[in-house]
Amino acid sequence: MTSKTLDNFLNGSILDLKQRGLFNEIDTVEGANGPVIRIQGKELINLSSNNYLGLATDERLKQAASEAIDSYGVGSGAVRTINGTSDLHIALEERIAAFKGTEAAISYQSGFNCNMAAISAVMDKNDAILSDSLNHASIIDGCRLSKAKIIRFEHSDMDDLRRKAEEARSTGNFNKIMVITDGVFSMDGDIAKLPEIVEIAEAYDLITYVDDAHGSGVTGKGAGTVKHFGLQDRIDFQMGTLSKAIGVVGGYVAGKSNLIDWLKVRSRPFLFSTAVSPADAIASTKAIELLMESTELNEKLWENGDYLKQGLKALGFTIGASETPITPCIIGDEKVAQQFSKRLVEEGIYAKSIVFPTVPRGTGRVRNMPTAAHTKEMLDKSIAVYEKVGKEMGLI
Ligand code: PMP
């Protein structure tokens, strides 16, 4: 017999979430994840993907992946320290380092586990981490895993960061102190104030860690937020993911050789979990090469982002302080945000609501992620549907 206590816990908790409108129903997508997707046989314009440059379905990446499957097979065999490391993973890491302007790089199976791996490999219970209050869940979990003291500073508030850095340093209680931030905040699309963060870090001898999951391929003409500000030599950890603009799957840290050497001997997901498949590794390498060769896709992404933003703003929606193509449409009430998204989907626009706990309570929103693969016609249709549903629900 299975556990009654577990059943009671699960059934009660799920019911509670459903009653509060916080239970996330997950749709099944039939086929590829491009600018148009099919759900329950219906084609929808997809404004919910992080596939910023459209590379997830790019023919050049698909070709490279198929060739890798032909000659390498589909799996990586075992963890890299036991089974030997594939030349494809080494090539990927060399490409990442060149792309990010660092001495070296290490790749992981996902961005999430990269944060869990890298933070806890360097920080411990004698250390402190200054963490932006809107940092991603994987940063929060990585910080917790490290057992360092977590000191949250108000989102992008540099006075608060400076005050807390001063306080942490002056107590003399900590061996190492890290400041950690998203490069681009995915729920609002704003960019971290890296020049000021670096200046504070240098004043108080802080280790700097930037999670640029949403900046890579997007800011800095594609090279990311650190490059955008020209700070390659002043950031210790340039973390990123291969699952968003790069279009594949995986995570990485780029930095100095000694940091990467340490992560290879101390970060547990590298030591105890099998690497991404050969096809994934080569597809990511190909994507980075394309980004280094041309900024065409990146320019298209920004053009589409500006177009959608202007369109929604002109209709009277609140799109917040986005500085990137990410276009939130902030509604407030969670249930209204969910209802709004449901109506958009019925009208052919796949733009999903994001509610607590992903964003703070009372800031429910529908988040739009235009990509380089969307056409003007798709964006015009999206704006027209926003107008129709927004008026119908009395939101504009
Ligand atoms: N960091 C940030 C800021 C993210 O938004 C995400 C993905 N939502 C991750 C890390 C995790 O990346 P991945 O999906 O590759 O695990």
For each of the chain's 396 residues, which pLDDT tens digit applies? 999 999 999 999 999 999 987 787 899 999 999 999 999 999 999 999 999 999 999 999 999 999 999 999 999 989 999 989 999 999 999 999 999 999 999 999 999 999 999 999 999 999 999 999 999 999 999 999 999 999 999 999 999 999 999 999 999 899 999 999 999 999 999 999 999 999 999 999 999 999 999 999 999 999 999 999 999 999 999 999 999 999 999 999 999 999 999 999 999 999 999 999 999 999 999 999 999 999 999 999 999 999 999 999 999 999 998 999 999 999 999 989 999 999 999 999 999 999 887 888 899 999 999 999 999 999 999 999 999 999 999 999
* Ligand 1 in reach of 217 Cβ (< 6 A): no
Residue 5 within a domain: no
Residue 1 within a domain: no
Number of domains composing the chain: 2
Flag whether the pTM goes above 0.90.
Answer: yes
Q: What's the first-to-final CA gap in the chain, in angstroms? A: 54
Indicate whether this complex's ipTM tops 0.90.
yes
Please say whether the beta carbons of 340 and 209 come within 8 A: no
Give the distance, in angstroms, between the CA of residue 374 and the centroid of all CA atoms in the same chain.
20
Please say whether the beta carbons of 393 and 339 come within 8 A: yes
Q: How far is the CA of 115 from the centre of ligand 1 (A)?
A: 9
- Structure tokens belonging to residue 267: 């970060």
* Ligand 1 in reach of 136 Cβ (< 6 A): yes
Residue 3 within a domain: no
| Pairing label, strands 327-332, 104-108 | unpaired
* Ligand 1 in reach of 188 Cβ (< 6 A): no
- Structure tokens belonging to residue 77: 């065999």
CATH number for the domain spanning 28: value is 3.90.1150.10
Is 186 an active-site residue? Answer: yes
Of ligand 1's atoms, which has the minimum distance to the CA of residue 113? Answer: 16
Q: What is the amino acid identity at position 320? A: G
Do 275 and 168 sit in the same domain of this protein?
A: yes
What pLDDT score was predicted for residue 386? Answer: 98
Residue 10 within a domain: no
Structural domain for 44, as ranges:
24-53+295-392
The domain boundary residue, chosen from 268, 293, 318: 293
Do 119 and 44 sit in the same domain of this protein?
A: no
Do 187 and 150 sit in the same domain of this protein?
A: yes
Q: How far is the CA of 244 from the centre of ligand 1 (A)?
A: 8
**Catalytic one among 107, 138, 146, 186?**
186
**Catalytic one among 100, 136, 214, 227?**
214
Of ligand 1's atoms, which has the minimum distance to the CA of residue 115? Answer: 10
Which residue intervals of the chain are DSSP H helices?
4-19, 59-72, 80-83, 87-100, 111-122, 137-146, 158-171, 194-204, 225-228, 257-266, 268-272, 278-293, 296-315, 334-346, 376-392
Do 98 and 232 sit in the same domain of this protein?
A: yes
Residue 355 within a domain: yes
Do 190 and 337 sit in the same domain of this protein?
A: no
Residue 13 within a domain: no
Residue 9 within a domain: no
Do 328 and 249 sit in the same domain of this protein?
A: no
CATH number for the domain spanning 277: value is 3.40.640.10
How many whole angstroms separate alpha carbon 311 and alpha carbon 317? Answer: 9
* Ligand 1 in reach of 182 Cβ (< 6 A): yes
Is 244 an active-site residue? Answer: yes
Residue 48 within a domain: yes
Do 303 and 230 sit in the same domain of this protein?
A: no
Is the peptide bond between 357 and the residue preceding it cis, with omega within 30 degrees of 0? yes
Do 108 and 129 sit in the same domain of this protein?
A: yes
The domain boundary residue, chosen from 276, 293, 310: 293
Do 189 and 136 sit in the same domain of this protein?
A: yes
The domain boundary residue, chosen from 258, 293, 328: 293
Do 322 and 269 sit in the same domain of this protein?
A: no
DSSP 102: S
What pLDDT score was predicted for residue 20? Answer: 81
Do 180 and 194 sit in the same domain of this protein?
A: yes
Do 133 and 145 sit in the same domain of this protein?
A: yes
What pLDDT score was predicted for residue 24? Answer: 78
Contacts of 298 (CB under 8 A, 6+ apart): 53, 217, 218, 221, 222, 291, 372
What pLDDT score was predicted for residue 229? Answer: 98
- Which residue, judged by its Cα, is nearest atom 12 of ligand 1? 111
